[in-house]
Structure 1
Amino acid sequence: MQRNGALYAQEYGWDTTYEGLVARIVADYLDHHDPSREAGWIAELDGERAGAVFCVRGPDDRTAKLRLLLVEPSARGHGIGRRLVDECLAFARAHGYTAMELWTNSVLTAARRIYQRVGFELVDSAPHSSFGHDLVGETWRREL
């Protein structure tokens, strides 16, 4: 959680309200975790943490949510982001979900490319002021 906030502050200039959002997402996961329907992964490269992602219950019992995809700068270009997203999708399918959604921001172009490549489609976008910046939030979805 701290790493997520630090990296986004460094790369995008986001303020500590982003770290607060990450902390709430992780706390909700820990407080309400259902191992039969939710999971998280930490990727390693050469024995070092290289990235992470969560698959959690979405707005209904048929929709999963992909949360907090992160790939360390030193690990980018190794396919780790794609592998983490693939793990989320496989887990969701295997655990009875029929769709997956995620929310991101348009400035996160590398993540958006991964989502597009694995079949997510942009279903909504809206400007917002968050994390100390004017951004465009996006909701992406794909059927499983």
Structure 2
Amino acid sequence: MIRSFNNADAEYMVNSHYDIYQREYGYDLSFKEFIENSVNDFVDTADRNCEHIWILDLEGKQRGSIGLTRVNEATAQLRLFLIDPEARGFGFGGKLVKQAIDFARSNKYKKIILWTNSDLKSARHLYNRFGFKLVERKTSTLSNQILTEERWELPLQDY
């Protein structure tokens, strides 16, 4: 089941992002702080009419998330996308991405952007499948690692 975020989900989002990215990619505690700031910013300031976080809830346990935040009147940003390892391979990632795209369309955004990095192969494949296009690359030092950050965009034709 995909459901709307409630404030009790904040701890799950912070801890799951940090635990998974630390285990799978070696990210350090600065990543946990980044996620915590992102989630807290949503809780404190989001306009929930045009910004949203969804939680993948399987048998009463949080197993993934995705968020859509407003950049400006025309642009939304996909954020905080994660599927727990035990829930991968069942199509839940695609369902979460579709939920966010549908919400963006219903709010008349003209495009969706997202930032990811070149190491996140499965996520990049999923974004490509939904029509996102890679538009920018830059090298950055994040979480004590040198990463190739990527900005992807999806124009929304049906706005």
Instruction: Give the TM-score category using the shorter length.
Output: over 0.9
CA RMSD of the aligned region, Å? 0.9
The aligned amino acid for 1:127 is T
Post-superposition offset of 1:27: 1.3
What is aligned with 1:11? 24
Matched, 1:87 2:99: yes
Matched, 1:39 2:52: yes
What is aligned with 1:69? 81
Matched, 1:107 2:93: no
**TM-score normalised by structure 1 residue count:** 0.96
The aligned amino acid for 1:30 is V
Q: Deviations over 1:60-112 (max 9, x none)?
A: 21100000100000000011111111000000000111100000111011110
The aligned amino acid for 2:55 is I
Q: Deviations over 1:99-143 (max 9, x none)?
A: 000001110111101100000000000111111111100000010
Structure 1's unaligned 5+ residue stretches are: none
Give the 4+ runs in structure 1 shifted more than 3 A.
none
- SS of 2:98's equivalent in the other structure is helix
**TM-score normalised by structure 2 residue count:** 0.87
Matched, 1:56 2:69: yes
Structure 2's unaligned 5+ residue stretches are: 1-13
- 2:148 alignment partner, one of 99, 124, 136: 136
What is aligned with 1:2? 15
In 1, the alpha carbon distance for the partners of 2:147 and 2:113 equals 19
